[in-house]
A and B are shown apart, each in its own frame.
Chain A
Amino acid sequence: DGGITQSPKYLFRKEGQNVTLSCEQNLNHDAMYWYRQDPGQGLRLIYYSQIVNDFQKGDIAEGYSVSREKKESFPLTVTSAQKNPTAFYLCASSIARRGHPHTEAFFGQGTRLTVV
């Protein structure tokens, strides 16, 4: 089955600790995204990547880092610099090629991160 897999589903972080959220897709999509969602709020873009080895900051990139070493994978690291990381993190992917504007984003199941 094609899709986007995020792991883990639940993650607990201690103060001052870095944690990495995994996102893998087998849809052969070019673009991948990380969003943060706080309770009762919409999605806020953290980082996105159009191609391997390239990524851009979104609206709330501070305290986060990403890598895109493979087309299928786009892990997100929540660093100790992120002071309020408790949230629901969503990874998404889409086709992203010139001449294909009408493409939707598909989401993984999400990772719920809690600081303990």
Chain B
Amino acid sequence: QKEVEQNSGPLSVPEGAIASLNCTYSDRVSQSFFWYRQYSGKSPELIMSIYSNGDKEDGRFTAQLNKASQYVSLLIRDSQPSDSATYLCAVNLDNYGQNFVFGPGTRLSVLP
């Protein structure tokens, strides 16, 4: 069973703080890793993708990947109330780019 696990929420941080979201996956052949943000009642939107070990930064977001530990994380710096949403970790398992597995999501609340 291929699984993606995320830290259970809800996670609450004060405005301006760093929010840290974690994800582990069970399948070592996983190729690509994604973070989606989902506002309540809306569909998921892609905010970060990462394919190689190390860090990838995009504005206030940093994705970190450690394939040896089967771990991927998302850091949100200077958290804003508009960042309050559920964050879904997704893993693409194969070379065809079509076998996605999603984690259960972590709900983040940024308190003003």
Contacts and interface: CB of A to CB of B under 8 A. Distances in A.
A42 B105 CA distance: 6
Contact of B100 (A94, A95, A100): A94
A25 interface: no
B60 interface: no
B76 to A, nearest CB: 19
Interface residues of B, number: 24
Contacts, number: 73
**How would you classify the secondary structure of chain A's contact residues: helix, strand, loop or mixed?**
loop
Interface of A: 30-31, 33, 35, 41-43, 45, 48, 50, 88, 90, 92, 94-110
Interface of B: 31-32, 34, 41-46, 49, 51, 88, 90, 92, 94-98, 100, 102-105
27 contacts: A31-B96, A31-B97, A41-B104, A48-B98, A50-B96, A50-B98, A90-B43, A92-B100, A94-B100, A95-B97, A97-B96, A98-B96, A100-B97, A101-B31, A101-B92, A101-B95, A102-B51, A103-B92, A103-B97, A103-B98, A104-B32, A105-B34, A105-B100, A106-B46, A108-B43, A110-B42, A110-B43
